[in-house]
Amino acid sequence: MISLNWIIGILVAGFISWAFYSNRKNKYSKAREIKKEITEEQEKWLESNQLSYRQIQDRKFALSKYVKETIIDDSFDKKQLLELIDDWADLQVKSFEDRRSWVRKPKEN
Amino acid sequence: MSNNDQQNSGGFAKTTDFKWLSVSIVIFVLLGFATPPLQSMVQKAAELFPNLSPELIALKAKHIQITIALLATCVIFFATEAIPMPAVALLIGLVQLLFGITEPSRIVSTYAHDAVWFIAGSLAIGATLVKYKLDKRIGIIVINLAGTNTRKIVFAILLGTAIPTAFVGEHAIASMFVPIAVALYTITNRTTSAPNLGRLLLMTIAVGCMVGGPMSPTGGARNAIMIGFLSNIGVEVSFGQWLSMGVFYTVIMSGIMALILPMVFKPEVSDLGEAVTVLKQDLEKHGSMTKKQWLVTAIMTMVIFLWITDKSITKQVMGFSLGLGGVAMLGAVTYMILGLTSWKDYESNVSWGVIVLYAGAISLGAVFKSTGAASWLAGTIMSVTAPLGMDSGLPLIILVIIIGATLTNLMSAGATVAVIGPVILDMASKSGTNPLIVGIILAISTSMAFWLVIGTPASSIVYSSGKLEPGDFIRNAVIAWPIAIIVAIVMVAFYWINILNIPLQP
């Protein structure tokens, strides 16, 4: 005849095994989610045709030159356009740098 | 908090999971109150407290039963993170208080131990090293010294992750090395498709972090907890002693894994000359170390020197030793006094929940010993292992290694040591086996979490890089796990007993 203590022991062992299994499953699915997020982010970067620092500076120079040559007078619109180009370039550089790991961010170290 | 932080939070960022909380309560009630204490518990109480009346002996037996119920409940909490981990630590004290196991005036003292100071100080020092990007300097040194041969780079990364992991948290080291590995892989992959190279380099980081932890007491909270448990039974372990015992495992495993990993993940290229050149150019831009970085390094070196000489030179000069915790705190406070870091930095960058959790583990160990629950459980396990000849000496040590190496794949290394440490040490004492050997080998065996992506924070970090699959961890573990167990056994049987002259029987 199985005693109550044995039944309790078996129940507890069952619960603990279930806990280990369940914990493993949950942690696995979380780890997979994080991996998926990172992979998707990397793919997005690849698809977004990100410009390098040099390309951004070249395009900024070319656009600024075009605006300066096309709009001759020092109008408010010209100033705004040049500011917009500067802001665009800064944002592009920031976006470019945000992609980089510590290895290629010497300023931070 | 980012997803990555949450994944590696070890249950600190979570809120209550009521399903598992209910299961835990059911287990606590079933084990603690569904039946009267077992006859063997009453006998154990009578043996430990011979001068008490039968009523008080019955009460002590009840305390043993409740403590066993508390242990089972903690296992569920550690496995499922059903409630925030620091809450588990505080519950351990509350159960002692509410069921009259420990006097209210003594509850707080069960949490207090030099090991807790040691964990707090070590985490604060580690946070300062990371603040000054000294972890990244290690990466730069490794790449500068490694050469271009793939196998040499693997060995350099193994040592470059293993040695720092013995002093700084593994998550910081793994996070620092992942971009280096990814850069080496990406640059090589532009000209030669090299998926195995990516797997090899990333898996090397995870393995390096795993084999580095056992080297020193600072290699993980599990080591500090074991030092605390050993101290509670009168066995003092110095930093130098642990270092001399643990270095064998780290060096031998690094050497073996440097041979095995390239066989499991056969790299497509044997020379990474082009990738190393590009990487070195990037790393050179970081410049040389600043004065503050040198100062932080000098203080860290002083702390390590004091840890190693605490029981020799310091004791001779001062007449007493500072203790591992005292030295760690000295370093942490020196950083603040010299203006290298602030309290705000410590508040933000030190996981105080970890400190509370392991203080709880120390308290659990204390109540396990004081009630006699450890002795009862050890006796019960030994009655099963004795007929198999595994209840003392080397067979007991092999059993401990296998239990530790298995359980660490199911819950965290710290939790494994916290839960089974007091019982294992009692088994050692009862069987006349040296508790120092049994205790330290248990802590070392809990570093063998090779099987799962979620085995250690470092494994989760390299997995999230996107270059590894769960199957890659299993492919590696099929070889690495049994080898680690064999290395641990050989280390005890030959290096500890024959070379370090640590007696198997004290």
pLDDT tens by residue, B415-448? 899 999 999 999 999 999 999 999 999 999 999 9
Is A12's Cβ below 8 Å from some Cβ in B?
yes
Query: If you search the block for the tokens 């593994």, which residue do you land on?
Result: B170
Q: Is B54 exposed, middle or buried (0-12, 13-18, 19+ CB in 10 A)?
A: exposed
Query: Which of B30, B75, B136 shows the shortest C-beta gap to A8?
Result: B30
Q: Rounded to the nearest 10 degrees, how much is the dihedral formed by the CA atoms of A57, A61, A62, A67?
A: 140
Instruction: Clarify whether residues A23 and A64 are in a common domain.
Output: no
CA B480 remoteness from chain centre = 18
Distance (Å) from the alpha carbon of B477 to chain A's nearest alpha carbon: 17
Separation of alpha carbons B377 and B382, rounded Å: 8
> What is the 8-class DSSP label of residue B37?
P
- Domain shared by A55 and A81, yes or no: yes
DSSP β-bridge partners for residue B271: B149
Alpha carbons B480 and B207: distance in angstroms, whole number: 9
Rounded-to-integer distance, Cα B98 and Cα A66, Å: 79
**Cα-Cα end-to-end distance for chain A:** 70
The one-letter amino acid at B99? F
Cβ atoms < 10 Å from Cβ of B452: 21
Q: Which residues of B touch A19 (CB under 8 A)?
A: 20, 23, 75-76, 79-80
Question: B143: nearest CA in chain A?
Answer: A103
Secondary structure element (H or E) that encloses residue A39, with its range: helix A4-47
Interface test with chain B among A28, A103, A108, by most B beta carbons within 10 Å? A103
The encoded tokens of residue B241 equal 């002693």
In B135-229, the DSSP E strands lie at none
Q: Which pLDDT band holds residue A96 (cuts at 50, 70, 90)?
A: confident
What residue in A sits closest to B20 (Cα-Cα)?
Answer: A19
Decide if pLDDT at A12 tops 80.
yes
Q: Is A62 on the interface with B (CB under 8 A)?
A: no
What is the percentage of chain A residues whose pLDDT exceeds 70?
Answer: 93
Contacts of residue B75 in chain A, CB cutoff 8 Å?
A: 16, 19
CB-nearest partner of A38 from B279, B464, B470: B464
Residues A58 and A30 in one domain: no
Tokens of B270: 């044997």
Which positions in chain B touch A12 (Cβ < 8 Å)?
A: 27, 30-31, 72
Q: How close, in Å, is residue B365 to chain A by CA atoms?
A: 20
Looking at B112-238, list the stretches that DSSP marks H as alpha helix, in order from N- to C-terminal side.
114-131, 134-146, 150-165, 170-191, 195-212, 221-232
The pLDDT value given to residue B14: 67
Q: Cβ–Cβ of A19/B20 closer than 8 Å?
A: yes
Residue type present at position B250: T
Residues with Cβ within 8 Å of residue B72, at least 6 apart in sequence = A12, A16, B27, B28, B31
Q: Does A33 touch chain B (CB under 8 A)?
A: yes
Residues of A in contact with B460 (CB under 8 A): 31, 34
**DSSP helix/strand/coil, B149:** strand
Nearest to B67 by CA among B101, B27, B34: B101
Which one-letter amino acid corresponds to residue A28? Answer: Y
Output the pLDDT for position B1: 36
What pLDDT, on the 0 to 100 scale, is given for residue B4?
Answer: 43
Look at residue B271 in the predicted model and tell me its pLDDT.
Answer: 94
The pLDDT of residue B132: 93
A106 located within any domain: no
pLDDT at B410: 86
How close does chain A come to B190, measured CA to CA in Å? 14
pLDDT of amino acid B3: 42
CA separation for the pair B36, B47 (Å, rounded): 18
Spans of chain B below 50 pLDDT: 1-8
Cα B100 from Cα B80, distance rounded (Å) = 28
Pairwise CA distance, residues B313 & B322, whole Å: 11
pLDDT digits (tens, 9 = 90+) for A60-90: 999 999 988 888 777 778 888 999 999 998 8
Q: Mean pLDDT for chain B? A: 92
Q: How many domains does chain A have?
A: 2
Side-chain half-sphere exposure of B328, counting CA atoms within 13 A: 23
- A109 within a domain of the structure (yes/no): no
* DSSP-derived 3-state class of residue B315: helix
- A26 lies in a domain? yes
Are A54 and A96 in the same domain? yes
Q: Give the long-range contacts of residues B89-92, CB within 8 A, separation 24 or more.
A: B89/B356, B89/B357, B89/B358, B89/B359, B89/B360, B89/B361, B89/B363, B90/B356, B90/B360, B91/B360, B92/B360, B92/B363, B92/B364, B92/B367
Q: Is A40 exposed, middle or buried (0-12, 13-18, 19+ CB in 10 A)?
A: exposed
The H-assigned helical ranges of B310-390 are 315-318, 323-337, 343-349, 352-371, 373-385
Q: Are residues A28 and A65 located together in one domain of the fold?
A: no
Percentages helix, strand, coil for chain B (3-state, rounded to 5) are: 75, 0, 20
Regarding whether A92 and A59 lie in a shared domain, the answer is: yes
pLDDT at B426: 95
Domain boundaries, chain B: 1-106
Contact B23 A39 (CB under 8 A): no
Question: Which of B23, B133, B464 lies nearest to residue A109, judging by beta carbons?
Answer: B133
Q: Bridge partners of B73?
A: none
Q: How far apart are CA A21 and CA A18, in angstroms?
A: 5
**B76 and A15: CB-CB below 8 Å?**
yes
A15: chain B residues, CB-CB within 8 Å: 23, 26-27, 76
Residues of A in contact with B179 (CB under 8 A): 101-103
Per-residue pLDDT tens digits for B394-405: 999 999 999 999
Domain range for A14:
1-49
Q: How many helices (H) and strands (E) does chain A have?
A: 3, 0
